[in-house]
């Protein structure tokens, strides 16, 4: 079941980390993307195997601080993280979200790590908590230890997609943060009402190498997809905004990886987990349609109320010809046959 380049799985954080292509074959999907790795990738995997075996690594893993996290998001206290490779230049960190002890009640937060073409640098989409374990794993990704992260995308107003951005930015303070519209305005409104402007306060102690404030760019919500020149035409953004603007999310197109990234706009549960789940979990999967090819329980109420808004977003996303798979920040990380699944999931919307 494993890729030919990986004779054994990597044991990190008391769990086995398989490349995503192996995970998908186990789940009954076709193989997605490349499985041939460069010598550098193979060397990193060999290093990851060897460095998790010695006593020094075991001490790290068994220490209370290895997975420690003080986030307000569950699971509280600590979060387990694993590293997976989809193909050359595309990896993801998968971190516990909700119940980390039971996979059928674990929604997972998935942070995608992308090496962009040419000299555009490395990009992280939907940052996870930078625990000691996550930092260690991130540095196993080829090129990260040497070049770092140049672009960070906070892709939704939902807090699990932006709360951990400062932790990653502290590691790479010169990176550009591409923020979904609504994060700043919602947080500012809370501050004006006497609360804490959490978004801005999180960056108070972060300075770029020249001493200036972080470079935070708010993604534009236009009639056409937003394609900032700094991303060289490889990355574009399409925003969905409900009315009232409670739900706002940015769909991220990565042309070089033939994929779009979805935060809460769509997800599905892995077949293997569905089959092994207890009856109560299977009932919940059915109720929220997570046992289908793709479900959208979170945006559905807003789109049912204002279907024209959903139709406009869908038209922008489907107008991109370059993608054919989904990278989902929750549940199953890599979903093949993405265009067909998106059409089926959002068939209730009218044409824009």
Whole-number percent of the chain with pLDDT over 90:
63
Give φ, ψ of 279 to 5 degrees: -60, -40
Residue 19 lies in a domain: yes
pLDDT in tens, 132-183: 999 999 999 999 999 999 999 999 999 999 989 999 999 999 999 999 999 9
Residue 147 lies in a domain: yes
On the question of a cis peptide bond just before residue 245, with omega within 30 degrees of 0, the verdict is no
Banded model confidence at residue 53, pLDDT cuts 50, 70, 90 = very low
Residue-level length of the chain: 352
Q: Mean pLDDT across the chain, nearest whole number?
A: 83
Residue 352 lies in a domain: no
Contact 241, 306 (CB under 8 A): no
C-alpha–C-alpha distance, residues 317 and 304, integer Å: 18
Q: Assess whether pLDDT exceeds 70 at residue 87.
A: yes
pLDDT score for 18: 43
Bridge partners for 114 per DSSP? 90, 123
Banded model confidence at residue 316, pLDDT cuts 50, 70, 90 = very high
pLDDT in tens, 89-139: 999 999 999 876 778 889 999 999 999 999 999 999 999 999 999 999 999
Residue 153 lies in a domain: yes
Contact 110, 328 (CB under 8 A): yes
pLDDT in tens, 180-205: 999 988 778 777 777 778 788 888 88
Residue 326 lies in a domain: yes
pLDDT score for 99: 76
C-alpha–C-alpha distance, residues 333 and 352, integer Å: 29
Residue 91 lies in a domain: yes
Contact 86, 17 (CB under 8 A): no
| CATH number, residue 80 | 3.60.15.10
CA distances to 10, 40, 178, 282, 298 from 330, rounded to whole Å, are 22, 29, 20, 17, 12
| Number of separate domains in the chain | 1
Residue 350 lies in a domain: no
Residue 150 structural domain: 10-345
pLDDT score for 95: 97
pLDDT score for 116: 98
């Amino acid at each position: 079941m494993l890729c030919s380049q990986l004779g054994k799985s990597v044991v990190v954080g008391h769990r086995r980390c398989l490349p995503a292509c192996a995970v998908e074959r186990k789940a009954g999907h076709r193989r997605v993307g490349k499985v041939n790795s460069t010598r550098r990738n193979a060397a990193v995997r060999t290093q990851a195997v060897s460095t998790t075996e010695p006593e020094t690594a075991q001490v790290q893993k068994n220490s209370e601080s290895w997975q420690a996290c003080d986030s307000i998001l569950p699971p509280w206290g600590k979060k387990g993280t694993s590293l997976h490779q989809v193909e050359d230049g595309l990896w993801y960190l998968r971190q516990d979200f909700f119940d980390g002890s039971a996979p059928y009640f674990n929604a997972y937060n998935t942070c995608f790590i992308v090496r962009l073409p040419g000299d555009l640098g490395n990009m992280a989409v939907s940052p996870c908590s930078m625990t000691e374990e996550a930092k260690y794993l991130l540095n196993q990704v080829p090129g990260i230890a040497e070049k770092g992260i140049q672009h960070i995308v906070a892709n939704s107003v939902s807090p699990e997609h932006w709360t951990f951005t400062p932790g990653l930015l502290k590691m790479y303070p010169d990176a550009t943060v591409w923020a979904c519209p609504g994060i700043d305005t919602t947080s500012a409104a809370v501050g004006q009402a006497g609360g804490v402007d959490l978004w801005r306060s999180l960056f108070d102690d972060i300075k770029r190498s020249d001493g200036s404030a972080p470079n935070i760019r708010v993604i534009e919500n236009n009639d056409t997809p937003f394609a900032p020149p700094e991303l060289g035409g490889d990355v574009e953004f399409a925003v969905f905004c409900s009315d009232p603007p409670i739900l706002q999310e940015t769909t991220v197109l990565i042309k070089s990886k033939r994929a779009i990234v979805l935060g809460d706009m769509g997800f599905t549960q892995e077949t293997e987990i569905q089959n092994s789940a207890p009856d109560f979990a299977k009932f919940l999967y059915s109720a929220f349609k997570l046992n289908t090819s793709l479900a959208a329980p979170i945006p559905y109420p807003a789109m049912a109320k204002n279907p024209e808004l959903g139709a406009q977003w869908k038209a922008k996303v489907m107008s991109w010809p370059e993608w054919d798979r989904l990278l989902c920040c929750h549940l199953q990380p890599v979903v093949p046959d993405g265009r067909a699944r998106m059409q089926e999931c959002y068939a209730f919307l009218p044409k824009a």
